Structure 1
């Protein structure tokens, strides 16, 4: 077997500290619920995406911004320990590093309250400073959590250099058509699909309607996460991948794992169908562990997981449009 091509991925997105508590259920307003597990770890959609990329065997560079505080410097050290290149992460002395407070119940449902901090000051100039690195990438993965104008600037640089663009939008109420038209693949969770399309994604049909909405607005292809699985829709048709038979422990990090896996597979010159199939398995494996960061699997774990599912006829060896 020929050696696997190592993909080169640049990730643009937020970086923060995650404080996570797990308990039997999520509290109602004004209620205190006794939890039983606490974690403090590297957080932010961009940071999680970059770590996921690195663990899946690709070269990972993160473009983002942290404060010049103890937490910010600690997060950079953690990223570097994971093999993520951080030279394109700006250090901001005027604001604190972002932070997120997350609560998770026994079924994996999560709630989050966060402060954007330095992430909100990622600028077009920061992106321009990383232009040389972006132009060498196979894929640009935009995880957001940072100003949209910085993301648009990065996408234009990468697209002009011939890179694939994977967009995983979060915490946005709209996306400009100029951005969608430059994107090869948009990866949407149900909540993001509802905000961006006005459609409540509850099944395959509503996921299809949401994906068609995004394609009409310019996206090359769209993946929508529905409660029952993932739908890929593009000019060549559609592919439905039902949920894999796993016990969900924590869904935090699953979306970042999914979009990172799509980016890595595309960077390895695999087809979009293969990339989404690989991402579907990676995301499922992530949900079996507690913690967005600690739940991100490495490449060997994903490949072993896929092989085991295939041997049990739980995952088709090949998928097509």
Structure 2
């Protein structure tokens, strides 16, 4: 464990993230309302979110030079989102300001942890290819590019093409999950990050009947992933850790960090942000993934998404103290 945590001292690379920023309006209720029903909820919280914003914040907090490329509106949420990212150490100077609302999600959570989420793209829908062209020089200053699918697919594809052709490694998080990805996007992405259920859908692979993914034929899965178009991939397995696939035969299982989880909101983005930071700093993919397990684990011990992310000192201290 100490050896993995010490990798955090190597984080110093330049990360570019193109995508979404959202204000998350969250309220808890004893139960979710039925159609047409009104229920009384608790105090409304407004928290910074958006997958891309979360990923950039996570990378910056552990020492990467993270820059986000995206758009906010002309509402009060714009300053809120930019301020929170700046607090995390993210370079926000390239964010586009547009008319209208910033991206938002409305989240209702019941006492059992079940939730409903409504996503309104708002300004995120205006992260277009023309905007990317204005940011070309800044984008190409990154050592690695992070992408997810909360932005227009043509923008995601254009960003991947621009950076891949310049020799910059591109990591795609297929989330929100899309089973049908444009071939051009696949061609320009170097690494895929996906969970086990999404991977099964993407590759048309049957899930294990007993739910034990560690017993699956991962060499066969690696070959299928390679045939699909991704020579490298990380498949997350929840509490069972993750699998790193390289080429059509190389498979490595990475253990999950064992923590008393309070809230897993945003943990996947903390994982992604750490992998981006590690790659930008020259770490091998397996080491990036191992470190990401601990950074995401730390996030699960706190509430919220960006609010739960720790810096390198906090993460190191937590795991050394608890001896996970």
TM range, normalised to the smaller chain?
A: 0.7 to 0.9
Instruction: Pick one of 221, 227, 248 that aligns with 1:216.
Output: 227
| Selected match of 2:279 from 257, 260, 266 | 266
Q: Could you say what secondary structure the match of 2:108 adopts?
A: strand
Match of 2:193 among 184, 187, 191: 187
Instruction: State the Cα distance separating 1:70 from its structure 2 match.
Output: 1.8
Distance in 2 of aligned mates of 1:96 and 1:217: 38
Considering only aligned residues, what root-mean-square deviation do their CA atoms show, in Å?
2.8
Partner of 1:99: 104
Contact kept in structure 2, 1:99 and 1:114, CA below 8 Å = yes
95, 116, 121: which one pairs with 1:116? 121
Q: Deviations over 1:100-153 (max 9, x none)?
A: 122345676654221111112211111111110111111101123101111111
- The match for 1:295 among 308, 311, 318 is 308
Matching residue within 220, 235, 238 for 2:251: 238
Distance 2:54 2:290 in 1: 20
Aligned counterpart, 2:3: none
Q: Label 1:140 to 1:191 Cα distance change in 2 as closer, same or farther (>3 A).
A: same
1:84 corresponds to: 90
1:286 and 2:296 correspond: no
User: TM-score, normalised to structure 1's length?
Assistant: 0.85
Q: Is the 8 A contact 2:22 2:49 kept in 1?
A: yes
Contact 1:190/1:200 (<8 A) preserved = no
Cα deviations by residue, 1:230-284 (Å, 9 ceiling, x for unpaired): 1211126111224332222222101111111001011111111100100111112
Tell me what 1:318 maps to: none
Q: Is the 8 A contact 1:155 1:182 kept in 2?
A: yes
Q: Secondary structure at the match of 1:181?
A: helix
Q: Which structure 2 segments of 5+ residues have no match?
A: 1-5
Q: Does 1:145 align with 2:150?
A: yes
Give the Cα separation in 2 of the matches to 1:136 and 1:108.
41
More helix by share: 2
Structure 1: gaps of 5 or more residues: 315-321
CA shift at 1:294, angstroms? 1.1
Contact 1:189 1:255 in 2 (8 A): no
Once residues 271 and 112 of structure 2 are traced to their aligned partners in structure 1, the CA distance between those partners, rounded to angstroms, is: 20
1:11 aligns with 2:22: no
Taking the aligned partners of 2:296 and 2:223, their CA distance within structure 1 comes to: 23
TM-score (ref. length: structure 2): 0.84
> Is the alpha carbon distance of 1:200 and 1:52 closer, same or farther for their aligned partners in structure 2, counting shifts above 3 Å?
farther
Question: Deviation of residue 161 (structure 1)?
Answer: 2.2
Q: Secondary structure at the match of 2:70?
A: strand
Query: Given the alignment of the two structures, is residue 275 of structure 1 paired with residue 288 of structure 2, yes or no?
Result: yes
Q: Is the 8 A contact 1:182 1:219 kept in 2?
A: no
Q: CA deviation at 1:22?
A: 4.2
Which structure has more relative contact order (CA 8 Å, sep 6+)? It is: 2
- Please name the residue that 1:160 is paired with: 165
Match of 1:60 in 2: 66
Distance 2:217 2:300 in 1: 21
d(CA) in 2 for partners of 1:86 and 1:117? Answer: 18
Aligned partner of residue 249 in structure 1, secondary structure: coil
Question: Aligned match of 1:247 in 237, 249, 260?
Answer: 260
Distance 1:109 1:154, change over 3 A: same
Give the Cα–Cα distance (whole angstroms) in 1 for the partners of residues 129 and 25 of structure 2.
29
Offset at residue 212 of structure 1 (A): 4.7
Three-state SS of the structure 1 residue aligned to 2:279 is: helix
